[in-house]
């Protein structure tokens, strides 16, 4: 990673009170290098410039840490792709029990590679659909944090994530700048699934337009019928 991109990562995280160690900065540098190498042969992301990798992938992921009262002990990342936001948070919090859920084989192959290269422990990779994972006893209502960085609407992402979060846990959903209508549309789904909107945070990263982070608290158990079968949450949103 070039020096100005590394400086941007260092300075921004320091301003947030997240002081990265030299080892962690080395891991982020390796992550960026491997992402670019793999992306040349496998389409993982359209973001290939070092500075944009830092801004749009690393810092956008690390920003979620500011929404946690304490460093989380467990996190599940739905539709993780090339590891965002889960893996940057794992680098920040080495003690984190992390589960990455990704259904696309080429992306799982990259995740297996990068987890090994970075020397990470207590990371589980699942090549499955979120609807399947949400019904498995070993994962259902077992996590402090669930997140999904995908483009689906909140009512869909809530059905993926809320079944996986323990009571009192959080679902953190990075979204665009204006989410008011989408949040309003999802209110009945949140109530049905045991969630409650805690807040919508404005996310301001250097050089980028403001975006939003939707924070949903798990306040009641999710009914056993959810998530519904594969494909139904997207085809028939709650």
Q: Is 165 helix (H, G, I), strand (E, B) or coil?
A: strand
The reported pLDDT for the residue numbered 151 is 73
Residue whose structure tokens are 């945070």: 201
**Dist. CA 211–CA 187, nearest whole Å:** 20
What is the C-alpha to C-alpha distance for residues 220 and 2, in angstroms, rounded to an integer?
46
Q: Report the candidate in 133, 30, 132, 42 with the shortest Cα–Cα distance to residue 81.
A: 42
Give residue-wise pLDDT tens across range 189-234.
999 999 999 999 999 999 899 999 999 999 999 999 999 999 999 9
Express each pLDDT in 90-143 by its tens digit: 999 999 999 999 999 999 999 999 999 999 999 999 999 999 999 999 999 999
Strands 97-101, 123-126: pairing is parallel
Rounded-to-integer distance, Cα 179 and Cα 227, Å = 23
| DSSP3 helix / strand / coil % (the chain, rounded to 5) | 45, 20, 35
CATH of 3-235, one of 1.10.10.10, 3.40.50.150, 3.40.50.300, 3.30.40.10: 3.40.50.150
Q: CA–CA separation, 184 vs 147, rounded Å?
A: 19
Backbone angle region of 180, left / alpha / beta, with phi > 0 → left and psi within -120 to 50 → alpha: alpha
Rg (alpha carbons) of the chain, rounded to whole number:
17
Q: What is the per-residue pLDDT across 143-160, written as a single tens digit (0 to 9) for each?
A: 999 999 877 999 999 999
């Amino acid at each position: 990673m070039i020096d100005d991109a590394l400086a941007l990562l260092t300075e921004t995280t320091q301003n947030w009170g997240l002081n990265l160690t030299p080892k962690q900065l080395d891991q982020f540098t390796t992550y960026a290098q491997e992402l670019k190498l793999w992306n040349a042969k496998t389409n993982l992301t359209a973001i290939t410039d070092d500075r944009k990798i830092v801004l749009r992938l690393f810092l956008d992921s690390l920003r979620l840490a500011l929404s946690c009262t304490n460093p989380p002990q467990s996190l599940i990342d739905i539709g993780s792709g090339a590891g965002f936001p889960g893996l940057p948070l794992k680098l920040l919090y080495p003690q984190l029990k992390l589960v990455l859920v990704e259904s696309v084989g080429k992306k799982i192959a990259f995740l297996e590679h990068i987890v090994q290269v970075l020397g990470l422990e207590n990371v589980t990779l699942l090549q499955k659909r979120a609807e399947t994972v949400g019904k498995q006893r070993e994962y259902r209502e077992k996590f402090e944090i669930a997140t999904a960085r995908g483009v689906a609407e909140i009512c869909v992402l809530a059905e993926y994530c809320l079944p996986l979060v323990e009571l009192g846990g959080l679902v953190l959903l990075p979204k665009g700048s204006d989410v008011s209508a989408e949040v309003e549309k999802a209110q009945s789904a949140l109530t049905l699934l045991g969630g409650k909107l805690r807040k919508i945070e404005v996310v301001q990263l250097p050089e980028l337009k403001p975006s939003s982070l939707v924070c949903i608290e798990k306040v009641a158990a999710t009914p056993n019928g959810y998530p519904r079968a594969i494909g139904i949450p997207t085809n028939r949103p709650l």
